[in-house]
Structure 1
Amino acid sequence: MSTNSNSELRIPDYIPIEIQVEIIKHLPIKSLVRCTLLSKVFNAIIKSRSFITRHSVRYNQMHHLLSRYLIDMNDEFQQNYVSIIDNDNFPQNKLPITVHDTVNRIYPEVSFVLGSSHGLLCLFESENNIDTKCFIWNSFIQRCIIIPIPDPKHWVVGFGVCPDTCDIKLVKITDRDSCNSVNWDIEVYTVSSGVWRTIPSYKPRKSIDLTLNSAVLNGIIYFLAKDDSGKTRSGHCRNMFVTFDLTSEKIGEVYLPDSLAFLSGFLNLSTRMESLAEIHDYKEGEQRVCDVWIFKHVFPNSCEKLFTFKAPNDSYDKVLGFRKNGDLILMRSTPSNERQI
């Protein structure tokens, strides 16, 4: 790649377009944005879903964490985003981020982050379970698409990127709980097609209740679920996972060992260093306790408690997830109502 006397980008015409694309795959984000000005062809290629997905996996850039937090402004919430460089100075190096206009218009009170994958952030918004939609935002190139969720009743939705086709997908699982059928209706939305399509239904046992708590790893979405049939004497349901394979589009059930099956308190799914992690947050007297369990190798029998973190009850508000090196990330509120990580 060369420049002319006017410092404009120019690529020799004799280099085949396929080779040019292979070359630019190795460029950093800022250089790619400049390359979109080369031609309409390059603009279309660089902004395509397949190129964005493959570039995010291939290019080993400095790891950033995108944080979303809400501030209570006189009974009205304001959403804020900040990019934090995950290095030795974490969390001191914070960078301002340009938020897409569509993302800024999301109502903070009725929205949350559904998930993230391949550099994409999926935000979920629901107003009284009527006007329900997902926003898939690429903060690098400032693109955001809105996907309405049809018939939002008795359902959960998951987000991920298919590892084979690099297509962005949403899966909607509906439990109608009718007298005639206990089957789950399964619908899949692919960004490439722009439509929802129905796939063969799945018949679970009646006792399984799904939650929106999910994580995606290696092309599989894991939903945290409860099995009411396995209640203990104290009334605790059995914890389990329901899975959705983004390639085969098949549903599965994963039953956890007893060490995890009957945990009480707040449970949250996440990923840690290429492994699925379950965060167990609970209170023990005057202390707040956080256990981190991870799954390796032969899933799920390989689960192990990685570590336990204990702190005073008011020391933090929420567990956000993990850094690239595996350290736990916590958020707490200051007396001035600011959020600290």
Structure 2
Amino acid sequence: MKKTQVCHSHPPTDRGGPPSQEDEEEEHHQKPYILHLPDHITMEIFCKIPTKTLFHCKRVCKSWRSCLSDPEFTKHLFSRTRPCLVVSGYTIPEPAGHFLVYLDTDLSANDAVFRLSTRVGRDCSTFIRGSCNGFIFYDIERFDGSHQLYLSNPITGESLTVPQPTKPCFKPILGFGFAPIAEVYKVVWIDENQDVNIFTVGSGIWREIGSLPCTPLRHTDFYLNGFLYWIARPRNTIFVSAFDVERERFQDLVLPRSWWVDEEVFKYSLGDLQGCLAFFVIRICDVSVWVMRESWTKELEIRDPNSFIGAPILRFTEERKVLMLRSDKLVSYNLATSGNVEVELDGFPSFVKNAWNLTPSFLSLQDI
């Protein structure tokens, strides 16, 4: 890990020569007490600070900024950071924006919601197409049908433009994931001809690797443990199409045979349940949750007399609550009591357009 710099309480005096022992001792006493701590103690403290507070710590002094910019430390910090949600929404008359939202009960109200800066133009619509390891993959759809793709780290405020493939496409299927062995990030672009193009971040070029036998149904991907997943629908069949980001190969996962039991299925989606791929079957008044371990297993049935009406499940919390996006509201459903409440926090948008799971990262886009 690179050596941290000294954070001075005021600029040192320039005496035109190397610092003497007296200068070094004076400088040592002028530093705040917390800066006398060994680096490993400071880093351990940082790992316990909420993301919003840690974001402001980076602006305190050069020493802390250097620590929170070190690639090795940011990777370690990421491994110990709790996940949260990125919410896209608005409150009239305020403009739309993106918010980092923690729903943990041990955080203060000031740390629960953090508004992020986003690049949203007047002549376009900005969509989150994926997230992976703290990075968000954005797609800006312009009125002329063109796309501007870019990656963003909402914590560091950095963004990186991803060029379009040379072959234009009005409604591409997009994906963003991480290859854990090569330690590279890749963007997937599938055009209307089902041709698959891969862009390795940092390479500057697109590569075509072949074509799909069927078109993925959803325009947003789901990344988990080195794979990108889409729900595919060739003819009258529905299955999960999985893309190995490392090997750049597709494979098919057959869905459980008994998931379609009646004609009341309103919607279905993919998600993450305790690190495993989950398949959510949403009916008018209940949701069935299937989990892929060695095979598909029906994990639980969520019933709601007030009707889910297609509400996608975002995450299961440790308090046995289910976070869902119903209409334009974020709802917390209690599995123990079968009751649900609308999420209301200071600074939280009144109307929610979309929400994604995200683990915040201080890793710079320049280091990937």
Question: Normalising to structure 1: TM-score of the pair?
Answer: 0.69
Question: Normalising to structure 2: TM-score of the pair?
Answer: 0.65
Task: State the match for 2:218 in structure 1.
Answer: 211
Check conservation: 1:316, 1:331, Cα contact below 8 A.
no
From the superposition, tell whether residues 70 and 109 of structure 1 become closer, same or farther in structure 2 (CA, over 3 Å).
farther
66, 79, 82: which one aligns with 2:96: 79
Tell me the distance in 1 between the aligned counterparts of 2:100 and 2:110: 9
- Residue 7 (structure 1) aligned with residue 31 (structure 2): yes
Check conservation: 2:229, 2:241, Cα contact below 8 A.
yes
The equivalences for 1:25-174 within 5 A come to 27-28=46-47, 30=54, 33=58, 37-38=62-63, 42=66, 46=69, 52=74, 54-55=75-76, 57-58=78-79, 60-70=80-90, 78-88=95-105, 95-100=112-117, 103-106=118-121, 110-128=125-143, 130-150=145-165, 151-153=168-170, 155-174=172-191
Gaps of 5+ in 1: 177-183, 232-237
Tell me the distance in 2 between the aligned counterparts of 1:93 and 1:291: 35
Task: State the match for 2:14 in structure 1.
Answer: none
Q: Which amino acid aligns with 1:291?
A: S
From the superposition, tell whether residues 246 and 292 of structure 1 become closer, same or farther in structure 2 (CA, over 3 Å).
same
- Pair member with larger Rg: 2
327, 338, 341: which one aligns with 2:350: 338
- Post-superposition offset of 1:110: 3.0
CA distances 1:172-218 after superposition (whole Å, capped 9, x unpaired)? 12341xxxxxxx4222122222x2321431452xx555421421111
Describe the SS at the equivalent of 1:130: coil
CA distances 1:243-300 after superposition (whole Å, capped 9, x unpaired)? 11111111222222322368842222221210112222232xxxx332222212x2xx
Check conservation: 1:129, 1:152, Cα contact below 8 A.
no
Describe the SS at the equivalent of 1:188: strand
Check conservation: 2:311, 2:325, Cα contact below 8 A.
yes
Identity of aligned residues (%): 15
Tell me the distance in 2 between the aligned counterparts of 1:306 and 1:79: 35
- Post-superposition offset of 1:51: 6.4
Check conservation: 1:239, 1:256, Cα contact below 8 A.
yes
- Residue 196 (structure 1) aligned with residue 205 (structure 2): yes
Tell me the distance in 2 between the aligned counterparts of 1:214 and 1:307: 24
Q: What's the RMSD between the two structures over aligned residues? A: 4.1
How many residues of Structure 1 are paired with residues of Structure 2 in the alignment? 297
Check conservation: 2:171, 2:192, Cα contact below 8 A.
yes
- Residue 321 (structure 1) aligned with residue 336 (structure 2): no
Q: Which amino acid aligns with 1:147?
A: V
- Post-superposition offset of 1:156: 0.7
Q: Which amino acid aligns with 1:224?
A: I
The equivalences for 1:216-255 within 5 A come to 216-228=223-235, 231=236, 238-255=237-254
Task: State the match for 1:179 in structure 2.
Answer: none
From the superposition, tell whether residues 140 and 108 of structure 1 become closer, same or farther in structure 2 (CA, over 3 Å).
farther
- Residue 270 (structure 1) aligned with residue 294 (structure 2): no
- Post-superposition offset of 1:35: 9.2
Task: State the match for 2:13 in structure 1.
Answer: none
- Post-superposition offset of 1:111: 3.2
Q: Which amino acid aligns with 1:321?
A: L
Tell me the distance in 1 between the aligned counterparts of 2:36 and 2:133: 28
Larger RCO (CA within 8 A; separation ≥ 6): 2
Q: Which amino acid aligns with 1:266?
A: K
- Post-superposition offset of 1:147: 2.2
Check conservation: 1:65, 1:84, Cα contact below 8 A.
yes
